[in-house]
Amino acid sequence: MVDTRDPLRFLQTEVSRLNQENQELREELTILRSSVRGLSAIQDLIQRMGPQTNLIHVLDDLLGSALAVLGTRDGSLLLRDDETEELVFVVVRGEARDRLQGYKLPPGKGIAGWVADNREPAIVLDVRKDPRFFNQVDETMGFHTQALVCVPLLDGERILGVIEAINKLGDRDFSTEDHHLLMVVAQLASMAIQRAEALSEEKD
């Protein structure tokens, strides 16, 4: 604890603290600007999507840009299989990328399943205290989920899937602002999926 009776020492400590905060803010602003440019470019790409556009690459770029802004390395985009109603990990970023790709969640299981069924977002700061949490994924993949934010991918009333970000870096909590940002990304992802479906139907 700083002795406030020593004005010089107190001021030096405050200057050091403010410099550190300013540096962190500058770094966050740089990431934010870069990611906004990235999202804008992806939106342009979606509008210009053609039959040869790789949808998975578009969704992967979207997820990567979102995670950079949110301040996390781990996240995934799951699409709903209309026949089985399972959620399939189609795009994965982070530690479990290679192991989790293609993994299927049983219908309604986990927080992702709840988000899909209810078409509502969820922010969970401690998944171990949430009865919706499905720990089989962590156990199978050797991963540790602490917190997450998950939002639905919607086409009107139709549920396409969900997108989720996991374990924010720096011991920070996910916020309402994070949820709003992920909702924007989910809208872009839904646009891309709908566009790809329309192009596929035209080709048939």
On whether residue 1 sits in a domain, the answer given is no
Tell me whether residue 149 is in a domain: yes
Q: Is residue 2 part of a domain?
A: no
**What is the 3-class SS of the chain, one letter each residue?**
CCCCCCHHHHHHHHHHHHHHHHHHHHHHHHHHHHHHHHHHHHHHHHHCCCCCCCHHHHHHHHHHHHHHHHCCCEEEEEEECCCCCCEEEEEEECCCHHHHCCCEECCCCHHHHHHHHHCCCEEECCHHHCCCCCCHHHHHHCCCCCCEEEEEEEECCEEEEEEEEECCHHHCCCCHHHHHHHHHHHHHHHHHHHHHHHHHHHHC
Q: Is residue 92 part of a domain?
A: yes
pTM of the predicted model, to two decimals?
Answer: 0.78
Give me the domain span that covers residue 68. 7-203
Would you write out the chain's pLDDT as a tens digit for each of its 204 residues?
A: 545 567 777 777 777 777 777 776 676 666 566 666 666 766 776 777 778 888 898 899 889 888 888 888 999 999 999 999 999 999 999 988 888 999 999 999 999 999 999 999 999 999 999 999 999 888 888 889 999 999 999 999 899 999 999 998 877 888 888 888 889 889 889 988 998 888 888 776
For residue 173, is it within any domain?
yes
- 22, part of any domain: yes
- The count of structural domains within the chain is 1
Here the CATH number for the domain that contains residue 25 is: 3.30.450.40
